[in-house]
Every structure is written in structure tokens, then in C-alpha cells.
Amino acid sequence: MTEHETPQETPQLCTREARACGVMASGEEDGSVEEKQTNNKKRTKGTIATAWLTVYNIAMTAGWLVLAVSMVRFYLQKGTHKGLYKHIARTLKCFQTFALLEIGHCAIGIVRTSVIVTGVQVCSRIFMVWFITNSIRQIQNEESVILFVVVWTVTEITRYSFYTFNLIHHLPYFIKWARYNMFIVMYPLGVVGELLTIHAALPYVRRSAMFSLRLPNKYNVSFDYYYFLIIVMLSYIPLFPQLFFHMLRQRRRVLHGEVIVEKDE
């Protein structure tokens, strides 16, 4: 019995081992195929994201350049800054509203930047344009308005051109240098222009009670836009140093190759 059983059992064992090997091989192949498909999807998404960001940054660079040329032409023709904001207001509002897309870029992960930091920067500019300068026409000819608009224009041309050339892997050194050096002057000047503009708006806001809600009312809620603007001005004290020193750390990392260890928030 033993001699006859051995030849019969051996093929069965071999068959089982072969099947097991086949299953393992099939599993490895399936895993390899799935991994390849996943990698292909990631590459496709990465290509689409890069293409979109390139188009977006080219459009924004061109738009801010057009705005800069329009400002220069206006000043050369009129010889004064008065009326300049009204001349560029529609274009400026369009750009600042369009910049909301950048919050979406961060939220969906195609840009590695904090949603909170980007949101604060974008929303603060929208606030300055829509709820300060555009809403209070009496301050539109203030020098401080022209100051922050010029600073924004120079900063955005530099920033968007930096992103564009970086995405196509042909970044000229002077653009990289401008991106990580000009902010040292531009950021403080921009903040000064914004704060002086808000300060100039305060008397008009107080007299007109614009955007304010007094008691009694059906909502039983009180809101004073005048004091809100004061709080906004005070918020620059903690926020500006954080953004400025963040850029200084980025400058050391990019221009000098320093390894910067960020603390977990």
C-alpha cells in the first residue's frame, strides 16, 4: 500500500504547491498592475495640476503687468495720482477675487502651502479692496492707497513670474533673487499703506455708521464697523511678524541652503 500511495500523493502535493505558487504569482501580478495604475493616475493628476498652475500663474503675471502699465500710463498722462485708483479699480477687484482660487489650490493639495496662511493673505486683500477702498470713495485719492497698490503690483508680478518659471523648470536667478529679497522692503511698505488707508477711513465710517448694526433690531445683535476696523489694525501686530519671519526662513533655505526645522503647530 505504501509503495502505491507514494506515487499518487506526490503529484497531488506538487499540484497543490503549483496552485499555491500560481496564486501567489497572480497576486503579485495583480498588486503590480494596481500599483502601476495608481502611479499612472498620480502622474496624470500631477501633469494636469502642473498644467493648470502654469496657465493660472502665466495669466496672473500677465494681468498684473497690464495693471502696472496702466498705472504708469495714467500717471504720465495726468501727472497726478488722483483718479488713479478709480481708473484701475475694476481690474484690481477682478484679480483679488480671482485669487480666491489659490485657497482652493491649497485645500485640494496641488500646492504645498498652508490653507490658513493663504486664506489670511487673500482675504485680507479682498477686504482692503472691497470693504475699505471701494466702499469709501473719499479715501481713494489718499497716497496710502497708491502705496499699497504699487507694492501689491510689484510683489505679485515677482511672485507669479517666480511660480511660472519654477513650474517649467527654467527659473532665472534674478527672479529667484527678487522673490526672496524684495519682500524685505515691500512687505513693511505694504503694511504701512494698508494701515494708513484703514486709519484714513475711520472718520468716514464713524460718521456714516456704514456696515454697522445698532440695537434694538430684530436680530438682537450689535455690530460696529468702526471698532471692527480698529481690531483689524491691531491684528497686524501679531500677524505681520509671523508672515515676515516665515519669508525670512524661506529666504535662508532657498538662497543659502540652510535646513530650517519648522515646529509642528
Please identify every residue annotated as catalytic: 187, 194
* Count of helices and strands (H, E) across the chain: 8, 0
Collapsing DSSP states into helix, strand and coil, what is residue 223?
strand
Residue closest to 193 by CA, chosen among 119, 124, 264: 124
Q: Is the dihedral of CA 252, 255, 256, 259 positive or negative?
A: positive
Among candidate residues 233, 205, 223, the one with its CA nearest the CA of residue 133: 205
C-alpha cell at 211: 456696515
| Consecutive H or E run containing 53 | helix 2-78
The CA distance from 180 to 170, in Å, is 17
Distance CA 196, CA 191 (A): 8
Which of 85, 76, 88 is CA-nearest to residue 147?
85
Positive or negative, the CA dihedral 194, 198, 200, 201 is positive
How far apart CA 183 and CA 181 sit, in angstroms, is 5
For residue 62, what is the enclosing H or E element?
Answer: helix 2-78
CA 63/CA 96 separation, integer angstroms: 11
